[in-house]
Amino acid sequence: MISDQAGMRQLTTLDGGGILLHGTYHKPQSLAGNEAAVSTTTLGIMFTNALSSPRSLVGDSGVYWATSFASLGYPSFRFDFPGLGDSYGEIPNDLLRFTNQGGYAAVASSKARELVQKYQLSGVVMFGHCSGGTTAIYGASSCKECKGLVLLDPDLTLPRALTVTLQPGLVLWIRRSRAGAILRATYDRVRALKTILGKGDLPPGTNFDVINRFKEVVSRGTPILVLKAPETAISGGAGKADSLDYFEYIRSFAVRSDQISIRTIEDTDHSFSNHAGQLAVRQHTEKWLSENFAEGVASIAPVQQQESQIQAPLISR
């Protein structure tokens, strides 16, 4: 018989609302050999997909981070959203635009609630990289069970390509033909003009919907950790050459001075998947968790044991 469990990791599913998600549950050390729920005072960590990346993330970074957080007492969960990784479903033709417009928002919020109920948690921290961070923001805005956000280079801008819901043949023509290039440029200028006239001083490429959702989350006093790669810090906060640092803009709406922590991680890139990136994300997140959610820890493993468990990323899944 094939087991669905390996060490402190176990395959799990969420099937509420007619949407079945497959994922991996990283158990806190205190639950070794125990299938019972964690505790109504324990906070969980919920990872969200970054575009088409599987739940393991680039370089198995998600596995590494989830293992480290679980070793500190935070049960951690990595799920594939519909159509991604091991979860069935249709992948939108323009996945980036779909995600940036909040296409997975309902799934993120409903599955966070289901996770809290299934494992009797006190709440979850949503952890998202790039477009996964965008999804986490959308999901958190409509989910009272979300108690915090960890965002790695979340995308707060809009895709500039004109793809929408056009027929594939027309999309190909728009992308490749001279006339299509003119059409794309005209579309971008018209959209930019509408943005400038209706949205104040924010750059034309701003994703105003996710910015407004971000403000909603901030207005509730939700603790937020933003981790940036050096290239993002230089370009203004969203991986794009806009003139505004979106993260500092969002921080101006904080209800208290220590609500939003913004850190730049050196010697890494947008994926955070090299050794320096993985280690720094882990250290910054663990420090932030201890400062904001120490009461939500299931158990604290000895330091030496923690280090032996998470020296290097484990296998996927």
Instruction: Check residue 51 and give its pLDDT.
Output: 81
What DSSP string runs through 173-194? HHHHSHHHHHHHHHHHHHHHHH
Please check the confidence at residue 203 and state whether its pLDDT lies above 80: yes
Coil/strand/helix, residue 67? helix
Q: Where are the domains of the chain?
A: 5-158+207-309, 161-204
Instruction: Check residue 160 and give its pLDDT.
Output: 63
Rounded mean pLDDT, 297-316: 45
Q: How many other C-beta atoms can be found within 10 angstroms of the C-beta atom of residue 131?
A: 23
What is the reported pTM?
Answer: 0.78
Q: Which of 218, 248, 252 is nearest to 146 (CA)?
A: 218
Q: What tens digit of pLDDT does each residue of 205-235 get?
A: 899 999 999 999 999 999 999 999 987 654 5
Q: What tens digit of pLDDT does each residue of 267-301 get?
A: 999 999 999 999 999 999 999 999 999 876 765 44
Find the range with the poorest average confidence among 44-58, 229-243, 278-292.
229-243
Rounded mean pLDDT, 175-185: 56
| Average pLDDT in the chain | 81
Q: What tens digit of pLDDT does each residue of 68-103 get?
A: 999 999 999 999 999 888 899 888 889 999 999 999
Rounded mean pLDDT, 170-195: 52
Rounded mean pLDDT, 248-262: 96
Find the range with the poorest average confidence among 145-154, 209-218, 242-251.
242-251
Give kind and range of the element (H or E) at residue 136.
helix 131-141
CB 107 within 8 A of CB 14: no
Instruction: Check residue 1 and give its pLDDT.
Output: 39
Instruction: Check residue 57 and give its pLDDT.
Output: 87
- Strand locations in the chain, DSSP E? 5-6, 9-14, 21-26, 43-48, 76-79, 123-129, 146-152, 224-228, 260-264
CA distance 208 to 56: 30
The CATH number of the structural domain formed by 5-158+207-309 is 3.40.50.1820
Percent of the chain as helix, strand, coil, to the nearest 5: 45, 15, 40
Give the pLDDT band (50/70/90) at residue 193. Answer: very low
Instruction: Check residue 4 and give its pLDDT.
Output: 55
Please give the share of the chain, as a percent, with pLDDT higher than 90. Answer: 57
Strand partners, 127: 47, 150
Six-digit token pair at 188? Answer: 């971008």
